[in-house]
Structure formats: structure tokens, C-alpha cells
Structure 1
Amino acid sequence: MSEAQTITDAEREALGDLIRRFVDKEIAPNIDAWEEAGEFPRELY
């Protein structure tokens, strides 16, 4: 069994930034259209 790896604060911050940029670019601009259509992309579940 392998040892668990810990994530550093810098890595955690970088991951948060990456996720934030993805949401800002790919999700936020589409929210109104998804709400209006009553649908949400399965890929985002």
C-alpha cells in the first residue's frame, strides 16, 4: 500500500486558482442559459 501524499499550501492555492478560472470561463457564462433551458450538463456532475 502506498503512503498518502500531503498537499502544500501553495499547491492547494494553485488548485483553487485553477478551479476558479475554469468556473469563470466555462460555467459562469452559461448559468443563465442552463437555468432557462432547465438543464445542466451531465459532464459537470
Structure 2
Amino acid sequence: MPVLNRIAGYADDMTEWRRWLHRHPELGLDCHRTAAFVLGKLR
């Protein structure tokens, strides 16, 4: 399956992830919640 087709399959998920990250902003180096969110998605 071409990479673009695989990426397109995640479009809705990525939109929701972006919205979650913007609803829960963290500033500077204090990004524990953001790091946990990203780690959870990568697992």
C-alpha cells in the first residue's frame, strides 16, 4: 500500500490529536501531559 494511502487512513485520528493538543497547551519545558499523550499514541 502506498505511503500516502496509509497516511490518509490516519487523517481523522491526526485531526483529533491536533485538537486535543491545542485544547491542552503546555509551555516551555514542562510538557509532561503532551509527552504522555504522544508516547501513548506511539505505543
With the length of structure 2 as denominator, give the TM-score of the two structures.
0.41
Larger radius of gyration: 1
Question: What is the TM-score of this pair, normalised by structure 1?
Answer: 0.40
More RCO (CA 8 Å, sep 6+): 2
